Structure 1
Amino acid sequence: MKRLVMLLAAGVVLAACSKKEPPPEPVRPVLSIEVRAYDQENLGRFAGSIQARFESNTGFRVPGRIASRNVDVGSEVEKGTLLATLDPTDQQNQLRASQGDLAKIEAQLINAQANARRQQELFNRGVGAQAQLDAAQTDLKTTQASLDQARAAVRQSQDQLAYTELRTDHPAVVTAWNAEAGQVVTAGQQVVTLARPDIKEAVIDLPADLAEQLPADVVFVVEAQLDPSTQTTAIIREIEPQAQSATRTRRARLTLAETPAGFRLGTAISVTLSSAIKPRIELPLAAVQDVDGKSRIWVIDPQNQTVSPRDITLLGRGADSVILGGGVKNGERVVSAGVNSLKPGQKIRIDEDSPR
């Protein structure tokens, strides 16, 4: 009997030893995202360029054949820089002719002055006639008027000759040439386009519908496409009243709050439009789990590296995101993918942040 009891006790001990402890819950790697409240609504992102606010189309003030073109597109020129010249032959001939007329009138004036003096002396001695004196004085006045006219003609010819040189009247950047050397142009014909680099603005094309419904508090953030760190804000200066028929867009010109050095003329830019809204939280659609008609998310405990479910209220649902009305605080971290395979209190490992 005693032996039987010992055998039974040994069997119980062996049975107890044969039981295995349940395996620990696996640590699940997850993607996560930090909850952030937004108070700006993104209205779109548009491409554009930096342009000069003031541009001028310049041409010669006299007709002629272009003899030389001295600068190229993109050149920065100072005030008074020679841009192009015309063949000055016609203007030089006109100047020589007017100078010859002036010399002839000057000689006639000398004779008229001498004749007027003689007639005055004869009249004073009582041997000259009043009629002859009057005629001499009239001839002197006429010759003096002709001299003034000839001098004006010379100045005009000199101006015409000077107009064969096209110079800038302010610092500028050459943005376009519309004529080449050897081409005959008329007076006032557009030859070169100059942009003033001191005042720059951003130029973008907005959809006509958006341009008509822009909020009063819209904010424009302008950044260089090649260097997003080069950025500033801007406000609308003007919007074209009529949409372009081909693209159904309206051109908007924006006044920059600042002009960074990277904003050169022609710089490609991206302009983001946003408007102030009531603070809200937006999460990826994959972060939300629907259970029994309710929506919930999995909130991460950063100290214990565990997750727990939490019910939330949705205000809106998009193609790949949702807008929350409550249930989570700004700054908390939630699981952004794989929520259907989680359990309350499960250990997790955060691999990386998911992109927004």
Structure 2
Amino acid sequence: MKRLSLLLCAGLTLGACSKEEPAPEPVRPVLSFEVRAESEESLGRFAGSIQARYETNLGFRVPGRIANRNVDVGAEVGKGALLATLDPTDQQNQLRSAQGDLARVEAQWINAQANARRQQQLFDRGVGAQAQLDIAQTDLKTTRASLEQARAAVNQARDQLAYSELRTDHGGVVTAWMAEAGQVVSAGQQVVTLARPDIKEAVIDLPASLVDQLPADVVFKVALQLDPSVNTTAVVREIEPQAQSATRTRRSRLTLTQTPPTFRLGTAISVTLSSAIVPRTEVPLSALQEVDGQARVWIVDPQARTVAPREVTVLSRDHDSALISSGIKIGERVVSAGVNSLKPGQKVKIDEDSPR
């Protein structure tokens, strides 16, 4: 009997030991963000580039065939730098011809001077005729005019020879070439574009419909596409009055408030347009949960590391966010992903630095 009692007690003890403790509720990791007030309304983001405010289109002042192109696109040149040269054969021949004419007229000038002196001396001694003296003086004046004309022709020929070299009027950066070595160009034809790098501006193309509705307090934020942390603000300097027929956009030139060193000519930028609005709260659509037609979000208790649902009033929605008019406060943390698998009071693991 005693043995039976011992067996029963042992069986009860084993049965009690075999009961499992209930598993603790798992801690669910969630993404969250801190609620902030939005005081600006984004009007869009547009791609553009950094360009020089002042650009000069240069060309030769005489026609000819380009013999040499001395610099490439992107080269920085100083004032008076040689950009390209024409074949100078024609200009050199014109100069030699003008110099030959000058030498002939100079000889005539010397002879006319000598003849005028002789006729004057003969007339002074009373053995020369007045008519011969008048002819000699007239010939002297005519020869002098021919001499001045010949000298001007030589100077013009020298200028024409100098025009076969294309030089800069100011320092700058070569941004484009429209002709190559061996190409025949006419006088005044655009050959190269030279930009002054000292004053830069942002250039973007804005939709014509947006330009007509820009608010007076619009803010242009200009940032590098490769490094958005490098940014500055800008104001409109010029907007083309007519839209391009193909794209229905109007080119806009913006004056930069500051010009960071990395804003080089041709650098790709992004320009964000915004305007001031009444402060409001914006949350991603992934943070909203619909329950019986009522929108709600999950608020994180940072001390207890738990979540609780809260109903909110939605003003408007777009493809990825919603505007909230009431229900949450500035500074609270809201779950931004995984809301459909949460329960009130559930323990969560949050990332304090989670993006919105």
Per the alignment, residue 347 of structure 1 pairs with: 347
1:205-240 CA deviation, whole Å, 9 max, x = no partner? Answer: 222222222222111111111222221111222222
Per the alignment, residue 333 of structure 2 pairs with: 333
Per the alignment, residue 9 of structure 1 pairs with: none
* Partner AA of 1:181 in structure 2: A
CA RMSD in angstroms comes to: 2.5
Distance apart, 1:61 and its partner CA: 0.8
Distance verdict in 2 for CA 1:82–1:124, change over 3 Å: same
Per the alignment, residue 140 of structure 2 pairs with: 140
Distance apart, 1:23 and its partner CA: 6.9
Please, which moves more after superposition, 123-132 or 336-345? 336-345
Note the 1:8-47 alignment, pairs <5 A. 26-47=26-47
Q: Percent identity?
A: 77
Please, which moves more after superposition, 141-150 or 170-179? 170-179
Per the alignment, residue 278 of structure 1 pairs with: 278
Distance apart, 1:143 and its partner CA: 1.2
Per the alignment, residue 75 of structure 1 pairs with: 75
Per the alignment, residue 128 of structure 2 pairs with: 128
Per the alignment, residue 58 of structure 1 pairs with: 58
Structure 1: distance between partners of 2:103 and 2:277: 82
Distance verdict in 2 for CA 1:103–1:323, change over 3 Å: same
Per the alignment, residue 202 of structure 2 pairs with: 202
Per the alignment, residue 304 of structure 2 pairs with: 304
Structure 2: distance between partners of 1:46 and 1:179: 32
Q: Is the 8 A contact 2:32 2:355 kept in 1?
A: no
Q: The residue matched to 2:312 in structure 1 has which SS?
A: strand
Per the alignment, residue 243 of structure 1 pairs with: 243
Q: Is the 8 A contact 1:27 1:346 kept in 2?
A: yes
Structure 2: distance between partners of 1:156 and 1:287: 80
Structure 2: distance between partners of 1:150 and 1:103: 9
Q: Is the 8 A contact 2:85 2:165 kept in 1?
A: yes
Distance apart, 1:352 and its partner CA: 5.7
Distance apart, 1:195 and its partner CA: 1.9
Q: What is the number of equivalent residue pairs in this alignment?
A: 342
1:190 paired to 2:215:
no
Per the alignment, residue 225 of structure 1 pairs with: 225
Per the alignment, residue 181 of structure 2 pairs with: 181
Q: The residue matched to 2:316 in structure 1 has which SS?
A: strand
1:38-80 CA deviation, whole Å, 9 max, x = no partner? Answer: 1111111111211222222211111112221111222211111
Name stretches of at least 5 consecutive residues in structure 2 with no aligned partner: 1-12
Distance apart, 1:354 and its partner CA: 4.6
* Partner AA of 2:130 in structure 1: Q
**How does the TM-score come out when normalised to structure 2?**
0.87
**How does the TM-score come out when normalised to structure 1?**
0.87
Distance apart, 1:342 and its partner CA: 4.1
Name stretches of at least 5 consecutive residues in structure 1 with no aligned partner: 1-13
1:72-118 CA deviation, whole Å, 9 max, x = no partner? Answer: 22221111111111111111111111111111221222222222222
Distance apart, 1:345 and its partner CA: 4.0
Structure 1: distance between partners of 2:71 and 2:27: 70
Per the alignment, residue 4 of structure 2 pairs with: none
Please, which moves more after superposition, 204-213 or 255-264? 204-213
